[in-house]
Structure 1
Amino acid sequence: MKEKIGIATDHGGFALKEFLRKSLEETYEMVDYGTKSEESVDYPTIIGDACRKVLSNEVPRLIALCGTGIGASIAANRMKGIRAALCHDEFTAEMSRRHNNANVLVLGGRVLGTDLALRIVKKWIETDFEGGRHQKRLGLIEEQS
């Protein structure tokens, strides 16, 4: 059975979302939460709705995109239980999982090329959370929200 991975974007990340979805669908069950075109939409709505799918356990993890990744990151991290990491390279993607157990990977559709974005996503999906002292820190974060 393929692992489910959600993916969502506004218009600014649409082209990269489509590339990633098509590149990953042979290996993973890609659940596409939109948007379906480059027509302008509001990222807080798209990303918020997709994050609720993570919180309800419809999908365990989500790839979220917008033009820069900044707006999607801010919108996602407003939600209790979401740990969204805006990543620009494989190292930050790996550490976002290993140390922070990020359940949302955020990418900038107008910032990253397709090859790098795909490597980032694969690293993020393939990396496990270490737990231990990092779990304690996640608990401290949860206490503050």
Structure 2
Amino acid sequence: MSSDMASSYDDEFAYFLAYLQISTAAGLGLYLSMAKLLGKNILHSIERDANTLKKWVSLDGHSESIAINSLALNHSHKTFQSFLFSYYAISKSNTPGLDGFVSKTADVEFEKIITQDEKSIGKVTSVFMYGAMAMIMAPIMMLTMMFMQTDPHSIQYI
């Protein structure tokens, strides 16, 4: 997977999970939630996967759960792949923990985004601090140099 595509998944995954939380609360499963993204041009990477799922279900005759499992088997983004495998396993076991799983995964992904943003803000802040120090120091140094005059009598010639 290219770094741009991986970055795209990293950027979109948490937002997709938030969307999935809402849509599962409304009674939609993963397949229908992804299918509703088609044509919306919001989560482009997830939409590509939704298109793949739709083709496998409508054209190839796979069941929704088999298509999701196949997508997980073939997916190159490891976090999304793990999520799909886990979602598939939990949904097949009919345990009531599916909503909690999606919610917890969304929390973890948003925490990653916040941590990355905090690191970026720290870098930007340090650049501004160094810039501000340079802006303060430059005029002081220029003023100091203007008032420094060398005494021609103090220069010693060798």
Q: What TM-score does the superposition give when structure 1 sets the normalisation length?
A: 0.33
**Would you tell me which structure has more strand in proportion to its own residues?**
1
